[in-house]
Amino acid sequence: MTLDARQVAEAIGPLSHARSMPAGVYTDPAFFAAEREQVLLAGWIFLARDDQLANTGDFRTFETVGGPVALVRGDDGALRAFANFCRHRGSLLLEGSGNCSRIVCPYHAWGYRIDGRLQHAPDMNDAIEFDKADNGLVEVRLETWAGFVFITYNETAVPLIKTLGDLPQRMQSHRLHEMRCTWTITLETHCNWKLILENAMETYHTGVVHRQSVGAQQSRTLPTVGDWHCIQVTSGRSIATLPGTPPPFDPIAGLDADAQQGTYFAVLHPALQFAIAQDCMWWLSVTPIAHDHSMLEIGGCFPADVIAAEGFAANAAPYYERWEVVGREDVGILEKQQRALGSVAYTPGRLSWRDDQVQAVTAWVLERLPEHVRTGQPAG
Ligand code: FES
Ligand SMILES: [Fe+2]
């Protein structure tokens, strides 16, 4: 795999001279393999909101860039993430979501407790030095912040809170920990994962791609500390409903002056987006599957007291409609972009000042790849 070193230098250089990334950054399976190892598996992967698994035995399953994972709430109240495979011969254990009191393998019925310990392993009496205590489910490192549950396959990854930098402080007045998830949708997307993140970091396209829905928007870039980037789409009202539908819910009490000015669109590396409005918050979680294939899950959260109030379901419906419509509009344009990036005649085009965070998001990824991947120069 080779990227043109001059093209890479132009893509990460000063914005007034910069061009888009070389096409291989989005189209090359070998580049994707390097990203998977160096960036995606090395970082923190968002799975769910803590409140989506409220009760003992609640479970949800996920396809992650590191394979299938099950998130389970134990008898002790703790959430655990397990690699979702059986310790006998590796069958998938749990599927979908639900509640269970035990985890029984669908192949030969090994049974596990919901804390991962192996409880039953039939007909293993002849296996010398087979100890059930050594054959529990494989746990994956898990950390949470403000109700967001993340895992990492990297035992030496820095704590989640460190990667968040000043994000918690910036979003403090939204009291995200008091929010609950009320809706999710998953969109299959035939494009590279970074195109989805780049798209979230500019309002250059909104008046075109979303002319029938949210329409033209203006945004400003905010300085950040940590592994995140942020723009704020400026608007005195929440933009989490379409322009023709005034938001039914009041702004969150006590929002700071900055937060009152609009909606934060953030990318938390490697592959999570937040959209945090004056009255609610949304996550857009990208699961990269291949260089040209990703899954996008959109989840919506409102403050717990808003959800508890009468009429919530009817009032929330226009929000769900807005995020689905806009999400599908974005997926449509990104699939067109991915197809065209495959042209052998493609050359990177110039960037606008409105593309500053498009550039920043993918430059962050490139910086974390070994030099020979970035530049096509031999390793060493
Ligand atoms: S693979 Fe699970 S019991 Fe055999
Ligand atoms: Fe968009």
Q: Which ligand is nearest to the CA of 284?
A: 2
pTM value surpassing 0.85 = yes
The closest-lying atom of ligand 1 relative to the alpha carbon of residue 110 is: 3
Ligand 2 centroid to residue 97 C-alpha, Å: 30
Ligand 1 site, residue 117, Cβ cutoff 6 A: no
Predicted local confidence at residue 371, as pLDDT: 85
Structural domains of the chain sorted by starting position, each given as residue range(s) with its CATH number in brackets: 5-41+161-373 (3.90.380.10), 45-156 (2.102.10.10)
Burial 320-342 (b: 16+ CB within 10 A, else e): bebbeebbebbbebbeeebeebe
For ion ligand 2, residues whose CB falls within 5 Å: 330
Burial class (CB in 10 A: 0-12, 13-18, 19+), 238: buried
Ligand 2 centroid to residue 209 C-alpha, Å: 7
Ligand 1 centroid to residue 92 C-alpha, Å: 9
Predicted local confidence at residue 379, as pLDDT: 56
The closest-lying atom of ligand 1 relative to the alpha carbon of residue 89 is: 1
Q: Which helix (H) or strand (E) holds 45?
A: strand 45-49
DSSP string covering 272-292, please?
Answer: EEEEE-SS-EEEEEEEEEETT
Can you read off the two tokens belonging to residue 227? 């592994």
- State the Cα–Cα distance between residues 279 and 266, nearest whole angstrom: 16
- State the Cα–Cα distance between residues 330 and 337, nearest whole angstrom: 11
Ligand 2 centroid to residue 102 C-alpha, Å: 42
Ligand 1 site, residue 91, Cβ cutoff 6 A: yes
Ligand 1 site, residue 107, Cβ cutoff 6 A: yes
- Report cis status (omega within 30 of 0) of the bond before 168: no
- State the Cα–Cα distance between residues 216 and 208, nearest whole angstrom: 7
Burial class (CB in 10 A: 0-12, 13-18, 19+), 149: buried
Could you tell me the mean pLDDT of each successive run of 10 residues in the chain, 380 residues long? Answer: 88 97 97 97 98 98 98 98 98 98 98 98 96 98 98 98 98 98 98 98 96 95 98 94 93 97 98 98 98 98 97 97 97 98 97 97 95 70
- The set of residues, in sequence order, having a beta carbon less than 8 Å from that of 74 and lying 6+ positions away, is 56, 80, 114, 115
Predicted local confidence at residue 136, as pLDDT: 98
